[in-house]
Amino acid sequence: MSSSGLRIETTRYVHCTVMRASGELDHAGRVRFSACINAVWDWSDGPVLVFDLADLDFYDSSVIGVLAMVMQRMEEEGSGRIILVRPSDHLLSVLRLTDLLSHVELRDSLEETVAELMLESGEDLSLSSAASPASPAAERGRRGGS
């Protein structure tokens, strides 16, 4: 399987960076995904990286490699948060088996997660459209699929 089946979409917020991956995440895709993470690393303080991997049709151990790379870099830098939104039961099982589950935060809703992070940062939600990625501020920060 090639990385051509992997789509990565990033949305930049002041308080976090959302990364949505869809399609197939294999070894070649891991290289692209890791490069994308490195490119957006400084977009938020910490950084706070929110991963929505629910639309991945296929993934192998590369997804663990990507998350482990992020965790290692955060540990080296002494800060950062990894939030997984809507992880599959299989991914949760693999994270549990590899002892990585304790290093990530789990959420059920992307929109609620972004809104929660805005509240934690003290931003005024009344000025935005409830942290919707369609809001003008988010659209200006959106990076198309790579």
Question: Class assignment of domain 3-108?
Answer: alpha beta
**What is the per-residue pLDDT for 4?**
60
Q: CA-based diameter of the chain, in Å?
A: 45
pLDDT at 122: 76
pLDDT at 146 (0 to 100): 47
pLDDT for 104 equals: 97
pTM reported for the whole predicted model = 0.81
How far from 117 is each of 11, 79, 82, 99, CA to CA, in Å?
14, 16, 12, 25
pLDDT of residue 124: 56
**In the chain, which residues have pLDDT < 50?**
1-3, 126-146
Q: Name residues whose C-beta falls within 8 Å of residue 91's C-beta, 6 or more positions apart in sequence.
A: 53, 59, 63, 84
Distance CA 143, CA 1 (A): 25
Chain centre distance of CA 136: 21
The pLDDT assigned to 121 comes to 81
- Give the whole-angstrom CA distance, residue 72 versus residue 39: 16
Sheet holding 105-107, edge to edge: 6-12, 17-25, 48-59, 81-85, 105-107
